[in-house]
């Protein structure tokens, strides 16, 4: 009498087969991407590549450190910082409530919701619809790059810093909201259950149980996004969103590569300063 294979042996064979299939698919995808993307590792060492690269590098040095040019860069650098601050502020305003609604243990699942949704299909449907809508909006916001958002906002509100602020606010709002929801999902639920057992409502549970646990990671990732916003605000200037990016485009068009190097050095100092401030804030927390 033949014995059929057990479920455990089938599951073991599936587990042993999956790494092989995944490795094969990854290798095929890697080789196909290499071919379709036209990757040429030694392109810089070819004659034409060497000539263009040498022309660009020699044109960058020495950087233009004249007072006339540095004084002209003061306002664009200040505008870049202002765009990053206001864009990150709007991103927090957008991402924080959507992140809360997109947290499964807060909206629809877990022991904190069992008593409220038990026996109430309408309340459960409302919770799931708000949860699904929040996750969908967050996915939409972060799936479109800030560069594309800047194009749209430049058409809507015109050239200038405000379009860059809106682009960073919307794109980074989707990113922050997604990470906020994951941070909230990772908190320890036992203190929350203890608060619920004392009769605390949802707002009290959130502000006295959820938020204190999530605050260090919340602030750390927000500061990291602010650092990214400084770089992004410079890039968005290439489409007319203000800041140092506009000056980079002008200098590149005029082939003034020494001015480009100066602007890049200014941007490096700005990012380093933001990183230093972020580290100090994280140390306090």
Domains of the chain are: 66-284 (1.10.3720.10)
| pLDDT at 215 (0 to 100) | 85
| pLDDT at 90 (0 to 100) | 93
| Contact call for residues 82 and 161 (beta carbons, < 8 A) | yes
| pLDDT at 206 (0 to 100) | 79
Q: Return the DSSP state at 119.
A: T
Q: What CA–CA distances, in Å, run from 2 to 6, 10, 78, 158, 225?
A: 12, 16, 79, 77, 62
| pLDDT at 176 (0 to 100) | 92
| pLDDT at 1 (0 to 100) | 47
| Contact call for residues 270 and 243 (beta carbons, < 8 A) | no
Instruction: Look up the pTM and report it.
Output: 0.77
| Contact call for residues 249 and 240 (beta carbons, < 8 A) | no
Nearest to 157 by CA among 145, 170, 144, 140: 170
Measured CA to CA, the distance from residue 79 to residue 118 in angstroms comes to 53
**Residues with pLDDT less than 50, the chain:** 1-2, 7
| Contact call for residues 112 and 195 (beta carbons, < 8 A) | no
* Residue tagged 């990470």 (tokens): 179
């Amino acid at each position: 009498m033949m014995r059929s294979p057990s479920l455990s042996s089938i599951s073991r064979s599936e587990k042993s087969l999956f790494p092989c299939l995944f490795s094969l698919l990854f290798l095929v995808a890697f080789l196909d991407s290499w071919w379709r993307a036209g990757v040429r590792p030694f392109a810089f060492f070819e004659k034409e590549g060497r000539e263009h690269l040498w022309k660009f590098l020699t044109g960058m040095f020495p950087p233009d450190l004249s007072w006339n040019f540095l004084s002209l860069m003061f306002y664009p650098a200040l505008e870049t910082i202002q765009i990053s601050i206001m864009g990150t502020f709007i991103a927090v305003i957008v991402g924080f409530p959507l992140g809360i609604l997109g947290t499964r243990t807060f909206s629809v699942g877990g022991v904190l919701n069992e008593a409220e949704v038990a026996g109430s299909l309408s309340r459960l449907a409302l919770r799931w619809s708000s949860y699904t809508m929040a996750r969908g909006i967050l996915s939409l916001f972060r799936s479109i790059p800030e560069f594309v958002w800047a194009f749209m906002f430049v058409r809507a509100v015109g050239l200038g810093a405000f379009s860059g602020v809106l682009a960073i606010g919307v794109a980074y709002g989707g990113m922050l909201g997604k990470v906020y929801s994951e941070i909230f999902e990772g908190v320890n639920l036992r203190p929350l259950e203890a608060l619920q057992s004392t009769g605390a409502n949802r707002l009290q549970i959130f502000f006295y149980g959820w938020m204190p646990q999530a605050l260090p990671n919340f602030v750390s990732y927000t500061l990291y996004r602010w650092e990214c916003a400084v770089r992004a605000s410079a890039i968005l200037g290439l489409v007319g969103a203000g800041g140092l990016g506009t000056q980079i485009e002008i200098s590149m068009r005029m082939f003034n590569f020494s001015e480009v190097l100066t602007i890049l050095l200014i941007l490096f100092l700005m990012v380093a300063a933001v990183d230093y401030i972020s580290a100090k804030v994280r140390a306090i927390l």
